[in-house]
Amino acid sequence: MPHPALSADHTAVVTGGASGIGLAAAIRFAERGLNVCIADVDEARLNEAAAKVGAAATRGEAAVMTAKTDVSSRDSVAALEAAVRARFGRVDVLMNNAGIQPGSKMFGPEDNWQRILGVNLWGIIHGSQMFAPNMIAQGKPALIINTGSKQGITTPPGDPAYNVSKAGVKAFTEALQHELRNTPDCQVTAHLFIPGFVFTPLTANGRVEKPAGAWTPEQTVDFMLERVSAGDFYVLCPDNDVPRSLDERRILWAAGDIVENRPPLSRWHADYADAFATFLKTSP
């Protein structure tokens, strides 16, 4: 059974909705008969996305709007909320999904760190804070789906600003769900969406064909909608290389760094290579 928020005539807002995972989600929502607002900072992509989502919409192009939005700006997200409410009157599904991954270095320029945290973390805080109060006041089941990353959980070396931003998304979304479930009469739930490797412009790196290990955006969104409808908070997506069982071992090992008093990121520490390899082979 699909979650009741995903019913025809309801309204979904997708940030970063003009490309990749967000676009696939916008198309799925439109196919199900929801009104869809595609919010994105990239105007050219927005126009292309509007045509694709409009073509998929069972209720026609009138059910689709676009909004040029920079999620790192509180004012821009406030304007988005007002525009969607003016057009469709309600919001049943908010997918805070906009994200960037330009790469980062520990001692790299501050403006790069600010930009990554601004979009990936502040974007999710702005979206949740601007939309949730009115969604709660509607008094109907509604969803806030925040796109995190496995890199925010196991924090592999190589892109520290991205990891920090996505670790923040995890902590924020956990706190948001705690807040919502302790709010009297609140029927809004929050969910942490954790994609695996998905072939999108973000990860394409010049490739035009999907690498065998990656999932498509559509596969990933279908998995997410199924798990959200089943009530999962942590929507941990596999891909063609990484089954859930491997993710579980990696996550447990990362938590074990603290419990076992190992160095941080010991998974990538030469002294722990054998121990980690053995750990992967043993079942809980």
Residues designated as active site:
162
For the CB of residue 19, give the shortest distance to ligand NAI in the complex, in Å: 3
For the CB of residue 187, give the shortest distance to ligand NAI in the complex, in Å: 26
Q: Which stretch binds ligand NAI (CB under 6 A): 20-28, 78-86, 174-182, 225-233?
A: 20-28
Asked if 15 interacts with ligand NAI (CB under 6 A), we say: yes
DSSP 215: B
8 in Cβ contact with 59 (< 8 Å): yes
Q: What strands, in cross-sheet order, belong to the sheet with 142-147?
A: 64-68, 35-40, 11-15, 93-96, 142-147, 188-194, 234-236
Asked if 164 interacts with ligand NAI (CB under 6 A), we say: no
Residue list 118-137, contact with ligand NAI (CB under 6 A) = 119
Q: Which CA distances in Å does 133 have to 126, 130, 139?
A: 12, 7, 11
Q: State which of residues 99, 127, 160, 168 lies at the interface with ligand NAI (CB under 6 A).
A: 99
Q: Which residue is associated with the tokens 């739930």?
A: 189
Q: Which stretch binds ligand NAI (CB under 6 A): 53-61, 68-76, 104-112, 252-260?
A: 68-76
Q: Find all residues with CB under 8 Å of 93, minimum gap 6, and list them.
A: 5, 6, 10, 11, 12, 13, 29, 34, 142, 143, 145
Asked if 41 interacts with ligand NAI (CB under 6 A), we say: yes
For the CB of residue 161, give the shortest distance to ligand NAI in the complex, in Å: 12
Q: State which of residues 35, 66, 69, 266 lies at the interface with ligand NAI (CB under 6 A).
A: 69
Asked if 81 interacts with ligand NAI (CB under 6 A), we say: no
Q: b/e string for 155-190 if b means 16 or more Cβ within 10 A? A: bbeebbbbbbbbbbbbebbeebbeebeeeeebebbb
User: What is the identity of the amino acid at 8?
Assistant: A
Q: Which CA distances in Å does 275 have to 84, 154, 262?
A: 52, 17, 11
Residue 38 vs 63, nearer CB to ligand NAI: 38
Q: State which of residues 11, 19, 66, 266 lies at the interface with ligand NAI (CB under 6 A).
A: 19
Q: Which stretch binds ligand NAI (CB under 6 A): 26-34, 56-64, 94-102, 104-112?
A: 94-102
Q: State which of residues 36, 53, 100, 142 lies at the interface with ligand NAI (CB under 6 A).
A: 100
For the CB of residue 27, give the shortest distance to ligand NAI in the complex, in Å: 13
Total site size for ligand NAI, rule CB under 6 A: 30
Structure-token pair, residue 150 = 């496995």
DSSP 216: P
Distance CA(10)–CA(183), nearest Å, equals 23
Asked if 40 interacts with ligand NAI (CB under 6 A), we say: yes
CA 181, chain centre distance (Å): 20
Residue 151 vs 189, nearer CB to ligand NAI: 151
Residue list 183-222, contact with ligand NAI (CB under 6 A) = 195, 197-198, 200-203
The site for ligand NAI (CB under 6 A) is made up of: 15-16, 18-22, 40-42, 45, 69-72, 97-101, 119, 147, 149, 195, 197-198, 200-203
